[in-house]
Structure 1
Amino acid sequence: MNFDRIQAAAIRLNGRARLTPLLSSPFLDKIAGRQVWVKAECLQHTGSFKFRGGWAAVSALSDEEKSRGILAYSSGNHAQGVAYAAQKHGVAATILMPSDAPEIKIQNTRALGAEVILYDRSTQDRDALGETLKREKNLSLIKPFDDPEVIAGQGTVGLEIAQQAQVEGILEADVLVCCGGGGLTSGVALALERTAPHFTVRPVEPEGFDDVARSLETGVHQTNKAASGSICDAILTPSPGQITFPILKRLCGSGIVVTELEVLQAMALAFQRLRIVIEPGGAVSLAAALFHGNELSGAHVICVATGGNTDPATFKAALQTLD
């Protein structure tokens, strides 16, 4: 996994991925005590940055691999990104999804033409189920984060951040990234290492699922006790990836952990001040910027708002925090 692979993915994504904006609001700046910039990947195809990795991975497959079909597992955003990329490439897709994933994500994945197989993530081993499906159907597996081409696709977010920050005159910044297994965080860190070396990438996670923060603190893989139980479904992973963790250790600053209330408040403020919809897992970075300023340094913070696929009930709960 290296910068050259990210550049190659950027070429394949050119004209396919949306160039998402870098947004700001003086009202958010006042809350944070510094200038806050939001990279709105919630406006990406399929509603999240995962389209980038899905397209990068599917487009890198050989014709023979495409003819056999592909397999992915995801709580929803990777599922939709891969399903959309597969549909556009004319490739059959099978997606393994947890039964407690938001219904809108399950429905959208099916609507994009994928076969969806549900499992109980509290009692069933996703990786074991995936290996069985892969073997039985002879499919090519596209992992949600521990896949070089997926990481490369996600790293194109970092390339865009560097270009957009240069236009805004931002020379130094903390770059906060919503982090599950670390595919996006490691890809952005690799991209910025070359294009904006004075930026520091910081992973952000919800409380109770801070395996990356604890892994960075101890220097070894840590796991979460629970597999579910947070509104931030998009970034609930048991442990950092085998490919991603060495990159995170080498390039990232310490992790930041936020509460569910802070996440809901960040969702509401993003809608009120930026007019964008962010899902819980995609709002943890903004929550860290707004409510954990004592853990940051410098005049600028850039938050990647990773996805916008929230359900109406959760979004309603978020808006009620403004009352």
Structure 2
Amino acid sequence: MTERRPTPDGVSAAAGRLTGHVTPTPLLPAKWRGRRFLIKAECLQQGGSFKLRGAMNRLLRLSEEERRRGVVAFSSGNHAQGVAIAANRLGIEAVIVMPADAPAVKREATAAAGASIVLYDRHRESREEIAARLAAERGSVLVPSFDDVDVIEGQGSVGIEIREQLGGAPDKVVVPCGGGGLSAGIALALPEAEIQIVEPAGWDDMARSLDLGRIVPVGDDPPDTRCDALQTKLVSPLTFEVLRAGGGRGMSVSESDVEEAMMFAMRHLRLVLEPGGAVALAAALTGAVGELTERSVVVVSGGNVDPLLYAGMLSRAGR
């Protein structure tokens, strides 16, 4: 039997299925160094990121029996909140495996949405192994954060919205990338557009994988990063193949670039971004993505920033 793969038709079906379950997010005009471009503000999605789209699409496709058995997910926070919110609305029990060092704001929001949380040490334990064990013990359905067809197709609804809001395809879309679920979904939704993915420096395994034509992991000793949402050590064949087939290319940005982008979003757009949600904007502001036009779209994908971290950035910016 042929393994199911994410498709453009699947993304279109997901977008229709999600109507009424997610919030259409605005496409905002922005200007930098004389260039006008557009910002897709997924930080304003319910739960603070695009993750509700994929989680809700996955859970809506569960059978009644599967819903009764509950779901298990693993996440540093944004996918956790997406699954927790979707499960709560659909009356499904959810258990989320989260790193002990995940921002408190994300842990608290996940618990507030009704999910049970199991903490682990991201440096010594495998979240995939813990989640798989819990799912097996409970008879629950495992909901991956990106390595899943329904999740990828749900995230692709961002691209469907962009097309509707623009009245056609953009020329370029710049997208934050961890495991690649969002960028792969958008690539399927907007095959005419150039897709550029952005990762934190030292965590750019998708970019290197696309350059080499094969999947390679993050190195053994990656640098510290405040982009907790993008700390994926190995991308999925599902997302990699979609991006490779679509001609996607990748790049990375520094921690200082990310901070500058967060402050730009606050000053010029009145948007609060977390570090991982700001990497695509950081690449746009540095000029790494090349020329931007009025039909170029930069996705800002998460707004769940730690309050103390954000306050420190605002303090430094005000000096």
Determine the C-alpha separation between the residues in 2 that align with 1:16 and 1:219: 37
State the match for 1:278 in structure 2: 273
* 1:87 and 2:88 correspond: yes
CA contact (8 A) 1:268 1:322 kept: no
Aligned residues: 311
Deviations 1:145-185 (A, max 9, x none): 0111111110000011112223xxx8652211000000000
| Aligned pair partner of 1:234 in 229, 234, 243 | 229
State the match for 1:20 in structure 2: 25
Determine the C-alpha separation between the residues in 2 that align with 1:254 and 1:57: 27
* 1:203 and 2:197 correspond: yes
> What TM-score, normalized to structure 2?
0.94
Where 1:39 maps in the other structure, the secondary structure is strand
Greater displacement, 15-24 / 80-89 = 15-24
The correspondence of residues 306-321 of structure 1 with structure 2, limited to 5 A, is 306-319=301-314, 320-321=316-317
CA contact (8 A) 2:135 2:141 kept: yes
State the match for 2:178 in structure 1: 180
Deviations 1:266-322 (A, max 9, x none): 00110100001011000000001011x254135243111101000112212332235
Deviations 1:18-57 (A, max 9, x none): 11001123xx322xx5222110000000110001111101
State the match for 2:3 in structure 1: none
* 1:5 and 2:1 correspond: no
Amino acid at match of 2:199: E
| Aligned pair partner of 2:251 in 246, 252, 256 | 256
| Aligned pair partner of 2:218 in 216, 220, 224 | 224
Determine the C-alpha separation between the residues in 1 that align with 2:222 and 2:83: 23
The correspondence of residues 98-109 of structure 1 with structure 2, limited to 5 A, is 98-109=99-110
CA contact (8 A) 1:65 1:140 kept: yes
Where 1:255 maps in the other structure, the secondary structure is strand
Cα displacement (A) at 1:112: 0.7
Cα displacement (A) at 1:72: 0.5
Structure 2 unaligned residues grouped into runs of 5+? 1-5
| Aligned pair partner of 2:284 in 272, 284, 289 | 289
Percent identical among aligned pairs is: 45
Identify if the C-alpha distance between structure 1 residues 222 and 314 changes in structure 2 by more than 3 Å, giving closer, same or farther: same
Cα displacement (A) at 1:13: 0.9
Structure 1 unaligned residues grouped into runs of 5+? none
The correspondence of residues 143-158 of structure 1 with structure 2, limited to 5 A, is 143-158=144-159
Over aligned residues, Cα RMSD in angstroms? 1.5
Determine the C-alpha separation between the residues in 1 that align with 2:310 and 2:195: 28
CA contact (8 A) 1:178 1:306 kept: yes
Determine the C-alpha separation between the residues in 2 that align with 1:302 and 1:39: 7
- Displaced runs of 4 or more, over 3 A: none
Identify if the C-alpha distance between structure 1 residues 34 and 171 changes in structure 2 by more than 3 Å, giving closer, same or farther: farther
CA contact (8 A) 1:227 1:237 kept: no
Which structure carries more helix by proportion? 1
CA contact (8 A) 1:165 1:171 kept: yes
State the match for 2:71 in structure 1: 70
State the match for 1:136 in structure 2: 137
